Amino acid sequence: MTAPIPREIPDLPAVPRPPRLLPSPVPASAVLTPVRRPLAAGFRLLTALLALTGAALELTLGGPVLRSMSSFAVQSSIVLALVTLASARRAWSAGRPVSGAVTGAALLYALVAGLVHHSLLANAASPFALADADGTGRHTVAVHLMCTAAPAAAALDWLLLTGRGRLHLRQTATWLLYPLAYLGFSLARGELLLPGTEDRYLYPFLDVDQHGYRGVLGNALLLGLAVHALAVLLVALDHIRPDPLRRRW
Q: What is the DSSP letter of 99?
A: P
pTM of the model: 0.84
- What angle is formed at CA 110 by the lines to CA 244 and CA 76, rounded to 5 degrees? 130
What is the dihedral sign for C-alpha 98, 102, 104, 109? negative
User: pLDDT in tens for each of the 249 residues of the chain?
Assistant: 566 655 665 555 665 666 666 665 555 544 556 788 899 999 999 999 999 999 999 998 877 888 899 999 999 999 999 999 999 999 999 889 999 999 999 999 999 999 999 999 999 899 999 876 555 588 899 999 999 999 999 999 999 999 999 999 999 999 999 999 999 999 999 999 988 888 899 999 999 999 999 999 999 999 999 999 999 999 999 999 998 877 544
Tell me whether residue 44 is exposed, middle or buried, using C-beta atoms within 10 angstroms of its C-beta: 0 to 12, 13 to 18, 19 or more.
buried
Rounded Cα distance, 26 and 133, in Å: 54
Residues 167, 73: Cα–Cα separation, whole Å: 23
The Cα 226–Cα 38 span in angstroms is 35
